[in-house]
Amino acid sequence: MAEEKPAVELAKGVNGLDKVVLRGARGSSAEVYLYGGHVTSWKNDHGEELLFVSSKAIFKPPKAIRGGIPICFPQFGSHGTLEQHGFARNKLWSIDTDPPPFPTNSSNKAFVDLILKPSEEDAKIWPHSYEFRLRVALGPGGDLMLTSRIRNTNSDGKAFSYTFAYHTYFSVSDISEVRVEGLETLDYLDNLQEQERFTEQGDAITFESEVDKIYLSTPSKIAIIDHEKKRTFVLRKDGLPDAVVWNPWDKKAKAMADFGDDEYKHMLCIEAAAVEKPITLKPGEEWKGRLELSAVPSSYCSGQLDPQKVLQG
């Protein structure tokens, strides 16, 4: 009999970068690069990849990996003085061997704790002391769970503020066949129109051109329904009021060096985020932001998001 593979394993990824492989009990798996604290793969029990990573992704600092789940911290987008989406996604994280206790600790073995702390160099760009702990875990049903805990460890008595996003790239069969439920009737800021505020009209969201919107104060559950694949992703979030929806479409795809010209057809970013209202932490305070992703077969065609129905498949 083949020896059972470990639930957590350190391995070498593209360009020799360190990655952690997580294996669930029934065949699911996930991969996390220490570079960026970046999830680059999430597979279900049948070994099907659920996240999109570009075939042109550059796995080399200082460029963030195109696809998977980049962490945007301490700045989302270009609204601030820092580089686009902040620096966390292109820093080398460490494995946290002694994380503070987790209230939700179960018998589940497929998880890893990472930590990011500022270097002297970083402190010049963002003069704050912090500990950013990220736990990536595979649930018993193959769900992917990310928990971020950010603590202000400033000794100068100063608070700091940041914006944040789990910039998740979902793999979809054909963007024209996909719809998103849970964001209808909400207000959003349109990044393609100088962040002007609009209100989404009635129906579920579908895609026929470039989209880059920040939906505000969204429900904690959002569903992505992939008709062709007969698969529904359910995204649950906590501590992250906003949701960014992004697809570059054809023109912008061509302008990106690390993205294939036609790849926009097979991806959709739905990003659990805190953008509109930055989070402020006083020294000693800790913030927690959670994202839980599941993928279920869907025979699902209602107009309303009914999480119960979604979960039952």
Ligand X SMILES: O=P(O)(O)OC[C@H]1O[C@H](O)[C@H](O)[C@@H](O)[C@@H]1O
The window from 77-85, 112-120, 140-148, 292-300 that contacts ligand X (CB under 6 A) reads 77-85
User: CB-based contacts of 303: which residues, under 8 Å, 6+ apart?
Assistant: 203, 204
**CA 231 to chain centroid:** 19
Residue 212 found at the interface with ligand X (CB under 6 A): yes
Contact status: 84 vs ligand X (CB under 6 A): yes
Measure the CA–CA gap between 225 and 91, rounded to whole angstroms. Answer: 33
Report whether 133 belongs to an annotated binding site: no
Binding flag, residue 30, ligand X (CB under 6 A): no
Binding of residue 54 to ligand X (CB under 6 A): no
Q: Judged by CB under 6 A, does residue 15 bind ligand X?
A: no
For residues 257 and 264, the answer to whether their CB atoms sit within 8 Å is no
Contact characters 86-115, ligand X, x per CB under 6 A = ------------------------------
- Exactly one of 167, 181, 263, 276 is catalytic; which is it? 167
Contact 15, 102 (CB under 8 A): no
Using alpha carbons only, give the angle 89, 285, 272 rounded to the nearest 5 degrees. 40
What is the C-alpha separation between 39 and 146, in angstroms, rounded? 9
Output the CA torsion 93→283→166→203 (10° steps): 180
Residue number of the CB atom closest to ligand X = 246
Residue 246 binds ligand X (CB under 6 A): yes
CB 212 to ligand X: min, Å = 5
Is residue 193 part of the contact set for ligand X (CB under 6 A)? no
- In terms of CB distance, is 85 or 135 closer to ligand X? 85
Phi first, then psi, for residue 311 (nearest 5°) are -70, -30
The smaller minimum CB distance to ligand X, of residues 112 and 222, is found at 222
Which residue lies nearer to ligand X by CB, 40 or 152?
A: 40
167 is catalytic: yes
Residues in the chain: 313
Contact with ligand X (CB under 6 A) among 85, 229, 231, 265: 85
The DSSP letter of residue 51 is B
Cα–Cα distances (Å) from 295 to 50, 108, 141, 201, 284, in that order, read 8, 19, 10, 27, 37
How many Å apart are CA 155 and CA 175, to the nearest integer?
Answer: 48
CB of 242 to ligand X, least distance (A): 11
Any contact of residue 191 with ligand X (CB under 6 A)? yes
Site string for ligand X, 251-280 (x = CB under 6 A): ------------------x-----------
What does the alpha-carbon distance between residue 161 and residue 230 come to, in Å, rounded to a whole number?
41
Number of residues that bind ligand X (CB under 6 A): 9
Give, for 179, the enclosing helix (H) or strand (E).
Answer: strand 178-181
- Residue 227 annotated in active site: no
User: Could you list the active site residues?
Assistant: 167, 271
Tell me the binding residues for substrate.
66, 84, 89
Per CB under 6 A, residues contacting ligand X are 64, 77, 84-85, 191, 212, 244, 246, 269
